[in-house]
Chain A
């Protein structure tokens, strides 16, 4: 347990730094789609829910897991759709108009 805890902490720390360095370069123009994208990526929590809903260790866990999969999938589908819609709208000045 302890060694995997330390590993996980290192990964968390590194990922946090990577996040910081990558996000600060995102143009303020795109802050709104950034938020909907990160929310869609957060729905990666679905992988934990999928195992719960599929392992059938107890009815309680299966029900909770299923609802969790539904909630996460809404975010995945909705989040990617709306982020792409928003990004499609950004155009530069047409040279001659």
Chain B
């Protein structure tokens, strides 16, 4: 009772009714959120963007606590504390774990939205207007499928679940029929908002769909899928905004939904595949037939000493990092190599393919973590023209993004995909553990080229050896 009076007092102090205080706070938070994303345009202003988002969020939560319908703050406080306790370690994971952590956070976000939608339904049924029921259904269906879909994605990224796509004939029809049934139930509920027994089906069927949707998607397609799930999480929050008539939610949801959507489009273009192809066409099954039956192709290989010698003698070196470098945790050794070469007057740049890694921009973060200055990290479109003047292209843990078959071989599954033109450099060196294919499951003709030297070994160990040779080499 006293808390209720307190809430009235806050409004009274400003001589404004509480609900106007809350609406004004939400308005300010909306502005802060827009600035937050705007300031992410460059690393120089980005941290200001985080601060803006934090302030906006705190204001919005503070304002909401003044809501007139709240009778008791105990559960809220306990939940906020528990969420903070769980959230802190999640914020401190290693950079290599960021993709799966991001997927997990999409699951948490959509869980919140789905639960709120469910609770709102049962509180208000049968008195729900057709429009509200429609957006509530969207909220719940999107929320559920994003929940399980994101958990599946996190599992695949953490390698708890198999990364190879699992497909079977008619799979797309089966999956889509689950979705169709859920939408059908939604339609029924719009007409009969009192049908409380039907609602659980509308929650559980999309949960299954979320799992089935991710099963046929392989590791290499994860950047597109995570971006799409990011978008869905935002859209379900926007739907919640429509249900609760909360403009801040609608705005934040729309901002985040379009962010995820733009990233998915960028990722798809970078793989030269359409959305439907990523979602419904399995990619990455090992092409046994393509491995030229009985053909013995030779590769040239080199030792760390030889590699170090070639690198030290070069003027311009471009390093191409890939997921393999992340797995081997070689980024810090790579930085040492960067320092050693730069000291010898070699110009070293890093070529970043948009889908390198397991989520958009993953490589940049890993290299930044290793203290490599971000002006050395160049996007594919900006650096591709430099390869003909590059003395050495050093590829670490990347495969498909360097495969020239994407340009020339129309029968290749990666045909048309934009690649890094490493084969135009004067010398190519590839650090790889063995000759196994990358995620596209195909062979890479680059490896058999005369100017290519294979450097077999673990990335961290090999680069470490190169660094030793460069420092001990008494030049």
Chain B associates with chain A = yes
Select one of A15, A28, A40, A90 contacting B57, CB under 8 A: A40
Alpha-carbon gap, A57 to B122, bound state (A): 11
B-contacting residues, A5-45, CB 8 Å: 5, 8, 11-12, 15-16, 18-20, 22-45
Chain B residues with CB below 8 A from A54, complex form: 65, 67, 69-73, 75-76
Q: How large is the interface on A (under 10, 10 to 19, 20 to 34, 35 or more residues)?
A: 35 or more
Q: Are B248 and A32 in contact (CB under 8 A)?
A: no
Q: How far is the CB of A33 from chain B (nearest CB, A)?
A: 7
Asked if B371 is at the interface (CB within 8 A of a chain A CB), the reply is yes
Q: How far is the CB of A41 from chain B (nearest CB, A)?
A: 5
Asked if B432 is at the interface (CB within 8 A of a chain A CB), the reply is no
Q: How far is the CB of B331 from chain A (nearest CB, A)?
A: 11
Residue of B nearest to A9 (CB): B242
A55-B69, A70-B82, A93-B375 known; A38 and B255 CB under 8 Å?
yes
Alpha-carbon gap, A33 to B122, bound state (A): 37
Alpha-carbon gap, A82 to B105, bound state (A): 11
Q: Which of A28, A38, A91 has the most CB of B within 10 A?
A: A38
Q: Are B119 and A20 in contact (CB under 8 A)?
A: no
Q: Are A73 and B83 in contact (CB under 8 A)?
A: yes
Q: Are B83 and A32 in contact (CB under 8 A)?
A: no
Q: Chain B 57-83, CB within 8 Å of chain A: the 1/0 string? A: 100110011010111110110111011
Q: Are A57 and B123 in contact (CB under 8 A)?
A: yes
Q: Are B256 and A38 in contact (CB under 8 A)?
A: yes
A-contacting residues, B359-380, CB 8 Å: 359-362, 364-365, 368-369, 371, 373-377, 379
Q: Are B237 and A44 in contact (CB under 8 A)?
A: yes
Q: How far is the CB of B474 from chain A (nearest CB, A)?
A: 22
Q: Are B259 and A38 in contact (CB under 8 A)?
A: yes
Q: How far is the CB of B413 from chain A (nearest CB, A)?
A: 25
A33-B46, A78-B87 known; A22 and B37 CB under 8 Å?
yes
A16-B257, A51-B64, A68-B112 known; A78 and B91 CB under 8 Å?
yes
Chain B residues with CB below 8 A from A34, complex form: 37, 40, 259, 263, 361
Residue of A nearest to B33 (CB): A41
Chain B residues with CB below 8 A from A23, complex form: 37, 255, 258-259, 262-263
Select one of B80, B255, B375 contacting A73, CB under 8 A: B80
Alpha-carbon gap, A44 to B256, bound state (A): 11
Chain A interface, DSSP helix/strand/loop, else mixed: helix
Residue of B nearest to A31 (CB): B361
Select one of B36, B98, B226, B252 contacting A82, CB under 8 A: B98
Chain B residues with CB below 8 A from A39, complex form: 102, 105-106, 109, 230, 233, 256
Chain A residues with CB below 8 A from B53, complex form: 37, 40-41, 80
Asked if B115 is at the interface (CB within 8 A of a chain A CB), the reply is yes
Alpha-carbon gap, A75 to B111, bound state (A): 11
Question: Interface residues of B, CB < 8 Å — how many?
Answer: 112
B-contacting residues, A58-74, CB 8 Å: 58, 60-62, 64-74
Select one of A5, A19, A81, A93 contacting B256, CB under 8 A: A19
Q: Are A66 and B262 in contact (CB under 8 A)?
A: no
Chain B residues with CB below 8 A from A93, complex form: 373, 375-376
Q: Are A56 and B71 in contact (CB under 8 A)?
A: yes
Select one of B56, B112, B250 contacting A72, CB under 8 A: B112
Q: Are A19 and B87 in contact (CB under 8 A)?
A: no
Alpha-carbon gap, A76 to B74, bound state (A): 20
A23-B262, A52-B119 known; A30 and B109 CB under 8 Å?
no
Residue of B nearest to A74 (CB): B87
Q: Are A35 and B119 in contact (CB under 8 A)?
A: no
Chain A residues with CB below 8 A from B262, complex form: 20, 23-24
Select one of B78, B101, B255 contacting A19, CB under 8 A: B255
Asked if B170 is at the interface (CB within 8 A of a chain A CB), the reply is no
Chain A residues with CB below 8 A from B360, complex form: 28, 31-32, 35
Chain B residues with CB below 8 A from A67, complex form: 79, 111, 115
Q: Are A45 and B240 in contact (CB under 8 A)?
A: yes
Q: Are A77 and B83 in contact (CB under 8 A)?
A: yes
Q: Are B36 and A41 in contact (CB under 8 A)?
A: yes
Chain A residues with CB below 8 A from B112, complex form: 43, 45-46, 49, 68-69, 71-72, 75
Select one of B123, B233, B246, B263 contacting A31, CB under 8 A: B263
Q: Are A90 and B362 in contact (CB under 8 A)?
A: no
Q: Are A90 and B259 in contact (CB under 8 A)?
A: no
Asked if B314 is at the interface (CB within 8 A of a chain A CB), the reply is no
Q: Are A48 and B246 in contact (CB under 8 A)?
A: yes
Q: How far is the CB of A70 from chain B (nearest CB, A)?
A: 4
Q: What would be 9 A-B contacts, judged by CB atoms less than 8 Å apart?
A: A28-B352, A32-B364, A35-B226, A35-B360, A41-B255, A47-B60, A72-B109, A73-B87, A92-B374
Q: A81-B88, A83-B50, A92-B375 provided; 10 other pairs, C-beta below 8 A?
A: A12-B238, A26-B41, A35-B360, A45-B113, A48-B246, A65-B75, A66-B79, A68-B112, A82-B92, A85-B92
Query: Closest 4 A-B residue pairs measured CB to CB?
Result: A73-B83, A81-B91, A31-B361, A77-B87
